[in-house]
Every structure is written in structure tokens, then in C-alpha cells.
Amino acid sequence: MSNQSPIPVVVNGACGKMGREVIKAVAQAEDMTLIGAIERNPQYIGQDIGEVIGCGPLEIPVLNDLQANLVLATQEKVQGVMVDFTHPDSVYENVRSALAYGVRPVVGTTGLSPEQIQDLADFAEKASTGCLLIPNFSIGMVLLQQAAVQASKYFDHVEIIELHHNQKADAPSGTAIQTAQLLAELGKTFNPAIVKETEKLTGARGSVAEENIRIHSIRLPGLLAHQEVIFGAPGQIYTLRHDTSDRSCYMPGVLLAIRKVTQLKSLVYGLEKIL
């Protein structure tokens, strides 16, 4: 065991699908201490978060007061971290609040606009406070994206298909948007038109992201989170695919981000930057 004080962690969206996994992972991490579980759903407020998620008492009541927990995080021996897995509608304000208190945000929630991300980056820079925005915490997705960047040097035609459970609020997924951005960094425009296309049903050809890369979003019960990047060239197709089967796949990335954000002084976007 190291002599360093454990990192105090507040989890926002604690009773959601991802929040529950994060609570479990943080509670088991020897170098972290769970100090807050924030949730808006009244059915859980006041209950022990450990009991709610079925891992036994953790002596942390579920509260619906982010500000109070952020204040708590500033009173610990070492500066705290807020992990956010909530909703596109609330994440911007949550991160602004955490940064204002000097609490470092680790953000998994997707759906922030480019303008909101830039604003948070400026705010973190001014506050000289680390902040991590990670559209996807799984190592498999980082590897897929790296392979896609490599392939994009040799293929001029590419489309992205992302497939998720139908409780997902935002489309396209944060991961698909980031994947298109990474491919676009090469500085070439993909998918030169071969014929004049007509969409007989609006949206049939998906949405167009950076450098003319199309993203198609599928939402079905039974899916978790999946992505394909399909490259085409005359006479060949190269397909990269990542599938998740359990949300525990994100936890090594989440724990790494909690450790790394304490060493940062500005906003960093993407798991690949901290590996």
C-alpha cells in the first residue's frame, strides 16, 4: 500500500447503468475513496448506494445535491474527482460546477456540442484544473480507432455504423463522432461522389460528419454498444468492428482516468491521450 491519501471520488448519475458500475469499481480501488453518490431519481434518495447497487453497505447515502458533494470534495486532504455519467442535458452544467470548485471532472457522458467542449476547455485552462472528456473508456475502441486511422491513409471511401441499446439519448454516439474526427485529422475529404445521389427518405444515407464521413445510428433493445468502420475500394471491403457485452469493459479506463486527471491542468479529450 502507498502512503498517499486516496483520491476522493464523487459519482454523478450513481444509480444509472454506468454509475452503478463506477460505484463498484471505485469502492474496490485501494487508492480511491467514494465520498458521494449523486442521483436525481427520488426512489433512491437517502438509501445507502451500496445497498442500491447490491454490493452491501458502503455508508454513502444517495443524495440529489451535487454542489454539497463538490464542497465536500474540496475539504478532503487531496483534491477530489467528479465522475459524470448522466445525460447530455445536464453534463455541461455539472462540469462547469465541478471546475468552479476545483474538483476534477472525469466525463463519460456524451452529447456535448463542439462549442460546449471548447467552452469547458477554456474554463479548465483558466482554472488550471484537469478535466477528462472520454467518449469511450474501452481499450478495444481505442485500438479500433487506431486501426481505422491507419487504414484511412489507403482508402478514400469510409462509412461508420454505430449500434446501441434503445435507451440511448444522443445520436450519433460520442464514439462515432470522435472516430470521424480522428479520420478527418488526416486532412483529406472522403467519399468523392461517383453519381448524383437522391435521398427518397430523409436520413437514408445517415448524417455527414467531418470530411464527408457518414455515420449511421441503429437503436434496438438487445444491443449494448457496437461500432463498425467500413472502408471500401474497388474489389475490396475492410471492416473494423468493436462489440461490448458488459459495461465492466469501461471500468479499467474509468479508474485510469480518475488517477490521470489529478495530474492534469487542462482539458484532455479521448482515452488514447492518457494511455
Ligand X SMILES: O=C(O)C1=N[C@H](C(=O)O)C[C@H](O)C1
Ligand Y SMILES: NC(=O)C1=CN([C@@H]2O[C@H](COP(=O)(O)OP(=O)(O)OC[C@H]3O[C@@H](n4cnc5c(N)ncnc54)[C@H](OP(=O)(O)O)[C@@H]3O)[C@@H](O)[C@H]2O)C=CC1
| Residues designated as active site | 164, 168
Q: Is 251 annotated as a binding residue?
A: no
90 binds, among ligand Y, ligand X, none (CB under 5 to 8 A by kind): ligand Y
Shortest distance, CB of residue 37 to ligand X, whole angstroms? 20
Residues 242 and 138 sit within 8 Å (Cβ to Cβ):
yes
Interface with ligand X, residue 174, by CB under 6 A: yes
Which CB sits closer to ligand Y, 127 or 139?
139
15 binds, among ligand Y, ligand X, none (CB under 5 to 8 A by kind): ligand Y
- Of the candidates 69, 173, 181, 217, which one interacts with ligand X according to CB under 6 A? 173
Judged by beta carbon, residue 12 or residue 175, the one nearer ligand X is: 175
| Residue 16 binding partner per list ligand Y, ligand X, none, with a CB distance cut-off of 5 to 8 Å that depends on partner kind | ligand Y
Which residues in 64-91 are b (16+ Cβ under 10 Å) and which e? Answer: eebeebbebbeebeebbbbbbbbbeebb
Q: Which helix (H) or strand (E) holds 32?
A: strand 32-38
Binding segment toward ligand X, per CB under 6 A, in 24-32, 62-70, 167-175, 200-208 = 167-175
- Per CB under 6 A, residues contacting ligand Y are 13, 15-19, 39-41, 85-87, 89-90, 108-111, 134-137, 168, 250
Decide if residue 225 touches ligand X (CB under 6 A): yes
Q: DSSP for 205-270, please give it.
A: T-EE-GGG-EEEEEE-TT--EEEEEEEEETTEEEEEEEE-S-GGGGHHHHHHHHHHHTT-SSEEE-
174 annotated to a ligand binding site: yes
- Binding part of the chain for ligand X, among 61-69, 70-78, 173-181, 195-203 by CB under 6 A, reads 173-181
Query: Which residue number, 135 or 231, has a Cβ lying nearer to ligand Y?
Result: 135
Distance, in Å, from the CA atom of 79 to the CA atom of 73, rounded to the nearest integer, reads 7
Out of 135, 206, 229, 257, the only residue in the binding site for ligand X (CB under 6 A) is 135
Of 45 and 223, CB closest to ligand X: 223
Q: Are 164 and 217 in contact (CB under 8 A)?
A: yes
Cβ(105)–Cβ(117) under 8 Å? no
Q: What is the DSSP letter of 38?
A: E
**40/56 Cα distance (integer angstroms):** 21
Closest C-alpha to 152, from 207, 178, 189, 177: 189
Answer for which of 168, 207, 228, 232 binds ligand X (CB under 6 A) is 168
Pairing of β 157-164 and β 225-233: antiparallel
E strand or H helix at 52, and its extent?
A: helix 49-53
- List, as residue ranges, the binding site for (S)-2,3,4,5-tetrahydrodipicolinate: 165, 174-175
Kindly list the residues in this chain that would bind ligand X in the complex (CB under 6 A): 110, 135-136, 164, 168, 173-175, 225
Residue ranges for the known binding site are 13-18, 39-40, 108-110, 165, 174-175
